[in-house]
A = this chain, B = another copy of it.
Amino acid sequence: MDIAQQPPTIAVIGLGLIGGSLALATHALGITTLGFARDQQTRKAAAEAGLRVTDSLDALLAGLDGNSIVVIATPLVAALELLPQIIAQTPDQVTVTDVVSVKSPLHEAALRSAAPHRFVGAHPMAGTTESGFGAAHIDLLQQARWAITLDESTDMQRAAAVFELAIAAGGTVTPLTSEQHDRSVAWISHIPHIIAETLAAGANWQPALGLGAGSFRDATRVASTRPELVEQMIGSNPFLAETLREYIDQLEHAHSALSNHGRLLPILQAGHLGRTTWEQRNTDSRATVTVEIDLRHQRAKAQLLQIGRAGGYLISCSTQLATALVFDPDAPLTGE
């Protein structure tokens, strides 16, 4: 299943912001792309944009040969229902992936299905505050980082095909387990949402609002998102409560330092280091080295997970070989 040599058919279920953008991108690359959406207006808009759209899910699934990847691009609740159904209704060679922003619930749904190894979870870290096919754009996934999950049940050849899809769509790939993904997004996305909401609620008294400027704007920006969407996103992360407890412990630590005239500086220094490290990882290409992973080797999965844990990411992939950028642990942090 080599996208460059013999591209698979891509079947996208759900043509919203992410699904629609992915379908537009693979279609533009000349990859056979089929789409389905429950909403008739969405199907019409997608067809008008040049996509091949089926009128029913059954019609979509019936049209797939073995060399196909089904991308579930619906909200979580629908995805959990669709996953076993698609595995049951398609030939064994068909690989199933998704773009939902939590991964453990889907991994568990796959484990309960007839063929867990056919599922490879994915989460492209892209989006805007808008949603729906109207907001989809052929370039949305350019430069997007995809988290793609490698669990014990995951088949490496199928994972490689999903890596290829993500990279063909203009992205790069962080390989990690479903649990690592959910713990990571708890820190980098779900806790930031809770922080923003509770801060905006707490500061909702005058005159604080009258004085709120840059720091307040940045710290509460994501609180503009519709509460129902946020609830759906963060409410389904099974590791969020535990991560939030760790975070509250850190705030308690800061509170003790403040109330007992203790040393606040070490806490501030740890935060500054975390932010600086993140900036380095995102800006300093000199600190990276290239690593090649032989995907036919038994150790490939462990190697890929090690790369993901170390903050590395895949920049190219075929059925046999993946190329990753990893951060050179010996390179000095600049700007310190």
Contacts and interface: CB of A to CB of B under 8 A. Distances in A.
Which of A196, A204, A265, A268 has most B Cβ within 10 Å? A268
A244 B234 contact: no
Contacts of A271: 196-201, 220, 223, 227
A254 interface: yes
A54 to B, nearest CB: 33
Interface string A237-271: 00011001111101110110011000011011111
Contacts of A202: 187, 191, 246-247, 250, 274
A231 B258 CA distance: 10
A273 interface: yes
A215 B189 contact: yes
Contacts of A250: 198, 201-202
A224 B275 contact: yes
A279 B225 CA distance: 13
A194 B199 CA distance: 12
A48 B107 CA distance: 67
A196 B275 contact: yes
Nearest to A195: B195
A142 to B, nearest CB: 14
A311 interface: yes
Nearest to A268: B227
Contact of A220 (B212, B231, B275): B275
A291 to B, nearest CB: 14
Interface stretch (A8-16, A25-33, A81-89, A176-184): A176-184
Contact of A174 (B145, B196, B211, B246): B211
Interface string A296-320: 0000000000001111110000000
A207 interface: yes
Given A198-B247, A277-B209, A223 B272 contact: yes
Contacts of A282: 212
A183 B193 CA distance: 23
A90 to B, nearest CB: 30
A222 interface: yes
A272 to B, nearest CB: 5
Contacts of A215: 188-189, 192-193, 222
A177 to B, nearest CB: 10
B251 A255 contact: no
Contacts of A244: 251, 254-255, 258
A4 interface: no
B224 A221 contact: no
A147 interface: yes
A188 B192 CA distance: 16
A226 interface: yes
Nearest to A185: B211
A49 interface: no
B313 A231 contact: no
A52 interface: no
Interface string A135-179: 000000000010100000000000000000000000000101000
B265 A227 contact: yes
